[in-house]
Amino acid sequence: MSIDDVVPISQGSRFGGPNSVGLVQTQFLTFAQPPGELELECGQKLGPITLAYETCGTLSPQRDNAVLILHALSGDAHVAGYHTPGDRKPGWWDLFIGPGKAIDTTKYFVVCANIIGGCKGSTGPSSVNPATGRPFGLGFPMVTISDMVRTQKVLMDRLDIPRWLSMTGGSMGGFQVLEWVVRYPDRVASAIPIATAARLSAQGIAFNEVGRQAIMADPNWRGGGYYEGDAPRAGLAIARMIGHITYLSDEQMHAKFGRRLRDRAGFGYDFKTEFEVESYLKYQGDSFVRRFDANSYLYITKSMDYFDLAAGRGSLVEVFEGVRAEFLVLSISSDWLFPTYQSKEIVKALKANGIPTTFLELQSPYGHDSFFLPNEQMSAMIAGFLENVQRRVREAAAAEGPEP
């Protein structure tokens, strides 16, 4: 489900409205210059690396109010606000970020970066390989969720943020949240993973593979070397259509489309688009290919397949032994891509370690993508959780007193 298609923008969130962060600017951080390249989990090295990121709100004098937003598969750094006054739509999570919203930018300093491997300003397969002067294509090394988090840690240090007050993300963004709290336990005060899991299921891997095969079967893919010609638009559109089906629920599909026909009084008995649901999926596929790179889709979905928080670390309970963040874990009742039992596995392992954890299954008929849609319960839970965490963090700092 695309939030751009189904969610009206309230007057308060429109550019210049009281609940909008207003204009934001994409910024870029470049690091890992040779010979100091980043060694990736796959064993290869990558550098230089550029991260595209955006911020909104103001970092407090104590530098204790920073919140990291981690995006899902097709997201980017543009999480809230507008790039220009004439933009038709704001950032992808503008519903929840801004003055008076769940993540209130009058209280918090919000940071969001495009992941490496992406195609929205950060280094990825469509970037120019400095060794060849041409786009990487499949010459780009395989990146993992862990690699993404390690580059975000560099950004954190460059912004001189000692500890995140909180971080949140849904789906693949939730993978990053979990990796962050395990890899850098002293740098995260709280975490809000949404509609996610500690590992991708066999079903999730299967859907990703079908999407990748659709891209690679497109004759325009040419082994990933399509940048000087026509892109594999048909394959990428099919991949998006497949993925999009998993983001919706059966109830929502029935309510939104049913078996309604489009522009026909009856069956045409041919292979033209007849059903409303067919037209909708084709629209989603066609709009996606205008803003996303096919090779990035391959790399990002593969990084999701590889993600398993406990791999090489013991049991899930053991994984969380050193975690110091408190948690708000949110699942969605109608989500069959990341069903609630997967969130409960995380909650069980956290509580086994005595980690303060609040869990809520959000009641929504809209499936996995519900976290992109207006939800008063979700907004209230996030707002209250952040307020309580900030209060505790500042009380603890006051009790410790100033550094000698």
Assess contact for 368 and 339: CB atoms under 8 A. Answer: no
CA distance 146 to 148: 5
274 shares its domain with 285: yes
Tokens of 104: 């209130």
Residue that is written with structure tokens 């990796």 in the block: 179
Contacts of 119 (CB under 8 A, 6+ apart): 125, 126, 292, 293, 296
123 shares its domain with 204: no
Q: Which of 71, 78, 244, 368 is the catalytic position?
A: 368
Known active-site residue 171: yes
User: For the domain that residue 87 is a member of, what is the CATH number?
Assistant: 3.40.50.1820
Tokens of 72: 């899902």
33 shares its domain with 147: yes
133 shares its domain with 263: no
Residue that is written with structure tokens 């690091």 in the block: 31
250 shares its domain with 277: yes
Q: Which of 104, 335, 343, 370 is the catalytic position?
A: 335
Contacts of 213 (CB under 8 A, 6+ apart): none
The conformation of residue 199, written as its DSSP 8-state character, comes to: B
Provide the residue-wise pLDDT of the chain in tens; the chain has 404 residues.
344 444 557 778 888 889 999 999 999 999 999 999 999 999 999 999 999 999 999 999 999 999 999 999 999 999 999 999 999 999 999 999 999 999 999 999 999 999 999 999 999 999 999 999 999 999 999 999 999 999 999 999 999 999 999 999 999 999 999 999 999 999 999 999 999 999 999 999 999 999 999 999 999 999 999 999 999 999 999 999 999 999 999 999 999 999 999 877 789 888 988 999 999 999 999 999 999 999 999 999 999 999 999 999 999 999 999 999 999 999 999 999 999 999 999 999 999 999 999 999 999 999 999 999 999 999 999 999 999 999 999 999 999 877 55
pLDDT at 144: 98
250, 285, 306 - which closes a domain: 306
Closest residue by Cα to residue 29 from 151, 118, 144: 151
pLDDT at 403: 59
177 shares its domain with 222: no
306, 322, 340 - which closes a domain: 306
Tokens of 126: 């469509």
For residue 12, how far is the Cα from the chain centroid?
Answer: 25
Angle between helices 233-247 and 202-217 (to 10 degrees): 160
262, 291, 306 - which closes a domain: 306
154 shares its domain with 210: no
CA distance 70 to 200: 17
Known active-site residue 368: yes
pLDDT at 5: 44
Q: Which of 74, 127, 171, 364 is the catalytic position?
A: 171
250 shares its domain with 284: yes
225 shares its domain with 300: yes
Residue 384 phi/psi, 5° resolution? -65, -40
Backbone dihedral region for residue 117 (phi beyond 0: left; psi -120 to 50: alpha; all else: beta): left
The residues with which 331 forms a beta bridge, in sequence order, are 361
pLDDT at 2: 41
Half-sphere exposure of 194 (CA within 13 A, CB side): 22
User: For the domain that residue 247 is a member of, what is the CATH number?
Assistant: 1.10.1740.110
Cα torsion through 295, 300, 303, 304, rounded to 10 = -140
Tokens of 349: 């392992």
CA distance 120 to 116: 9
Structurally, how many domains does the chain consist of?
2
pLDDT at 40: 98
pLDDT at 7: 52
188 shares its domain with 204: no
pLDDT at 8: 58
Residue 162: give the domain boundaries: 3-199+309-400
User: What is the pTM assigned to this prediction?
Assistant: 0.96
321 shares its domain with 271: no
112 shares its domain with 192: yes
